[in-house]
Chain A
Amino acid sequence: MNGIDPTNVQVLAAVLFALGVAVVLTRRNVFLLLMGVELMLNAVNLSFVGFSRELSGNESLWGQMTPLFIIAIAAAEACVGLAMVICIVRGRDTLDSDAFADMKE
């Protein structure tokens, strides 16, 4: 049960987070962008759960409950985000995030 080194969990979370950041920064497809954000959120979840294993009692419980909230909020976020993206994409007929640059004009 306790075979996993807590550092490894955090390293994995950091790697996942970095992957998410990389996706967000390098991809132009809006859907991939949303996926990157999702990956970052879940990396944070993993980090929370990893720390909660090292704590005891109520603190451990907080470490487990926070991800639950994050998951619920992420679901809502994905819902709203996707709806917005679909609205934008319908209006412009493209998935390229670089095309959404109207603020400048």
Chain B
Amino acid sequence: MKLTFELLWLIPFLPLLGAILNGALSLGSASSKRGPARGLVALLAVLAPGASFVITVLATCKLASHTEPGNTALVQPLWDWFAVAVPGFSFKLSAGLMFDHLTAMMLLFVTGIGTLIHLYSVGYMWEDRGFARFMAYMNFFMFSMIVLVIGDSLPMTFVGWEGVGLCSYLLIGFWHQNNEYNDAARKAFIVNRIGDLGFLLGAFMLFQVMSSNGQGSLNYRDISSWFQNFANADLITSHLGQIGAAGLLIFFGCTGKSAQIPLVTWLPDAMAGPTPVSALIHAATMVTSGVYLLARLCDLYAHATAPVLAGLTVSQVILLIGCITAVWGAIAGLLQVDIKKALAYSTVSQLGYMFMAAGVGAYDVALFHVFTHAFFKATLFLGAGSVIHGLHHEQDMRRMGGLTKLMPITHLWMFWAWFSIIGLPILGSGSFSKDLILDRLFDGASWTPIVGGVALATALVTAIYMSRVMYLTFWSPSRMSAETRAGVHESPLIMLIPISILGFGSMVVGWLWAPADFGVSHLVDNKSQHGIHFFNDWLAPVLGSAEHFTHQLLHPKGEGAAAEGGLSLYAMPALGSLAALIGWLIARAIWRGGRVQGPAEGEITGFSASWTWFFDRVYRVTVVIPVQVVAWILAWVVDAAIGGVVAGIAALARFMGDGYTSVQRPRLRSSLALSMAGVATLVAVLLLQGAFAWVVGLLGAGVAVLFLLLELFF
């Protein structure tokens, strides 16, 4: 069912307006000594996404007030984008906005958390000369991200998809005086573009499959209804290979945006950007767009049941990639000394968890982890930013320690975010979503429980490396120099407010979906249903059909359907909490004393000390070096050959043209003007009839002869 909502266009438009105005302010003040009017810039930059958030809430209320069954969405068609009509084929693409339950959930946290991070950025970037430019980029990022999730078709999403990639590039390289940062920005952009190619090819292939019965469309609602339509079942069966390939290609695009193996290398380098950027783009919103796209196309992935790569179906590929990335990110996180880098690898690892959930068809669980992760990871990043700010741009954890008393509020909310990410129960939202993922993995068929075991072990490693970050930063004796220690200060209120709200969010949002609710729902009423299911009930209209299909595939005889209830509900929370506890105790034993090697002489520190070296090396051998070899061949061999031929022709022309050069006009522009005049004369002769043609033609010829004579004799 489609409803219209007239204000929908304002949600993306307001941040765009903010970006334009701030961009103008930035350009207008580029040469002034005082810089832009910071107060005005800050007001615009925070109000624009804030207003979007308010409208999103209004739209969500309107959507929630329609309770009839089926997939309800608010839509607003904007304009016809393009139309193709040739004999036998016609296709029209219209640009439009769609606001359904999935969009509502994504937009609420994108605009909500986004606004808070904008507020934080005002405090963090206030002193920077490029304040207005920074805010313009941030607002433009909000616009792109909103378009990505509110677009009603794959091309609309692609517009946002490219926009967030561009903003990521602009913001990573924001401090462009540092060439290393520029390299990191370019790396992010190029790696993302490689993934984008997969997105496009996958979309084309999907379109081709759907065109086989004349219903080709790129609109999301059309795509889901095409796959859900029983009349298309035979068609789907006969095109399984193509559907699988389309899914795989689109997933390749998702690995680029969400930094999964093989396109993982850009995210750790992306930490070159200012910390609010890392929080907004590289932890909370943009990197989750890959998971969003998988959920948006869940019907495609549910029906892609044929093996496409090494005997695995697309979903199994997603599951495996997610698992490998989660393990790899966690181990890499263990070895970082830069606080932001450690958090970056943690993001990579957590995104792996989301993809694992999507790989077993539990899209709502994947999105739930997106949702909780956005809260606790944003808190961690903003807290890390607060520490970096307080320590005057010190990012090396080996030179921190003992900050609990010096930065009490930052520490308080970092503590709760840590509590959440390692998976301690009840007051940590991460435990709810992570335990659900583990539950779905152990519930799956054949070898997915093995992946579940690996994921559980990874949860242990997660607890170790996150506790290590906390110990080295807060809970160990200080290793700061005396003058650094004297300069440490708690951050200003404008930075602490967003941290506090997000930190509090990371404590409580897990309760939106708590199958194992520790008896709370029984206290409220005595019904037989276990737990709180607000979150997945909300998403059911969009994802339910695909999840039902996958579930029937995994459990053809209907077993496992009634698995929820009883003691097994508490098995996963118990295991997850146990892993968290053990990991914490291990980290406590190792790093409580703050014994870490200080930075060695000449060691690369900061952001170039990367753990992506393996992938960087593979890409160097497989891509960069071949390109360089081809370039060398082109530069020396081919160039010499072509150069010889060209030089020969030139010599020939010079030889034959000798003598003619005397009538040449010396100046390029005047000879160009003459040839233009010649063309004009010709056209005039052709168009005009009779006497006029003769007159003009003779006139033109006369002028030309006159010029020639002038050239010859003067």
Are A28's CB and B666's CB within 8 A? no
Chain B CB within 8 A of A75 CB: no
Q: How far is the CB of B95 from chain A (nearest CB, A)?
A: 13
Complexed CA–CA distance, A33 and B668 (Å)? 10
Are B668's CB and A98's CB within 8 A? yes
Q: Which of A55-105 contact B (CB under 8 A)?
A: 57-58, 60-61, 97-98, 100-101, 103-105
Are B87's CB and A57's CB within 8 A? yes
Are B80's CB and A1's CB within 8 A? yes
Q: Which residues of B contact A1 (CB under 8 A)?
A: 80, 83
Q: Which of A28, A60, A61, A103 contacts B669 (CB 8 A)?
A: A28
Complexed CA–CA distance, A57 and B86 (Å)? 5
Q: How far is the CB of B683 from chain A (nearest CB, A)?
A: 13
User: In the complex where A1-B80, A25-B676, A104-B661 touch, is A58 in contact with B86 (Cβ < 8 A)?
Assistant: yes
Q: Which of B48-92 contact A (CB under 8 A)?
A: 80, 83, 85-87
Q: Which residues of B contact A101 (CB under 8 A)?
A: 666-668
Residue of A1, A61, A100, A103 with most chain B CB atoms under a 10 A cut-off: A103
Q: Which residues of B contact A28 (CB under 8 A)?
A: 669
Chain B CB within 8 A of A24 CB: yes
Q: Which residues of B contact A33 (CB under 8 A)?
A: 668
Are A25's CB and B668's CB within 8 A? no
Complexed CA–CA distance, A57 and B85 (Å)? 7
Are A103's CB and B86's CB within 8 A? no
Q: Which residues of A contact B661 (CB under 8 A)?
A: 103-105
Q: Which of B85, B86, B668, B676 contacts A100 (CB 8 A)?
A: B668
Complexed CA–CA distance, A44 and B676 (Å)? 16
Residue interface bits B656-679, CB-to-A below 8 A is 1, else 0: 000001101011110011001000
Q: How far is the CB of B46 from chain A (nearest CB, A)?
A: 38
Q: Which residue of A lies closest to B657 (CB)?
A: A103
Q: Which residues of B contact A61 (CB under 8 A)?
A: 86
Q: How far is the CB of B708 from chain A (nearest CB, A)?
A: 14
Are A103's CB and B676's CB within 8 A? no
Q: Which residues of A contact B672 (CB under 8 A)?
A: 24-25
Complexed CA–CA distance, A104 and B712 (Å)? 11
Q: Which residues of A contact B667 (CB under 8 A)?
A: 97-98, 101
Are B669's CB and A98's CB within 8 A? yes
Q: Which of B667-714 contact A (CB under 8 A)?
A: 667-669, 672-673, 676
Residue of B86, B667, B668, B676 with most chain A CB atoms under a 10 A cut-off: B668
Q: Which residue of A lies closest to B662 (CB)?
A: A104
Chain B CB within 8 A of A12 CB: no
User: In the complex where A1-B80, A57-B87 touch, is A104 in contact with B666 (Cβ < 8 A)?
Assistant: yes
Are A25's CB and B87's CB within 8 A? no
Complexed CA–CA distance, A97 and B669 (Å)? 8
Chain B CB within 8 A of A21 CB: yes
Q: Which residues of A contact B80 (CB under 8 A)?
A: 1
Q: Which of B470-486 contact A (CB under 8 A)?
A: none
Q: How far is the CB of A18 from chain B (nearest CB, A)?
A: 11
Q: Which of A26, A60, A103 contacts B664 (CB 8 A)?
A: A103
Complexed CA–CA distance, A22 and B86 (Å)? 38
Complexed CA–CA distance, A1 and B77 (Å)? 14
Q: How far is the CB of A103 from chain B (nearest CB, A)?
A: 5
Q: Which of B79-130 contact A (CB under 8 A)?
A: 80, 83, 85-87
Complexed CA–CA distance, A102 and B555 (Å)? 82
Q: Which residues of A contact B87 (CB under 8 A)?
A: 57-58
Q: How far is the CB of B674 from chain A (nearest CB, A)?
A: 11
25 contacts between A and B (CB under 8 A): A1-B80, A1-B83, A21-B676, A24-B669, A24-B672, A25-B672, A25-B673, A25-B676, A26-B669, A57-B86, A57-B87, A58-B86, A60-B85, A61-B86, A97-B667, A98-B667, A98-B668, A100-B668, A101-B666, A101-B667, A101-B668, A103-B664, A104-B661, A104-B664, A105-B661
Interface residues of B (CB under 8 A from A): 80, 83, 85-87, 661-662, 664, 666-669, 672-673, 676
Given contacts A24-B669, A58-B86, A103-B664, 10 further A-B contacts (CB under 8 A): A1-B80, A21-B676, A25-B673, A28-B669, A57-B86, A60-B85, A97-B669, A98-B669, A100-B668, A104-B661
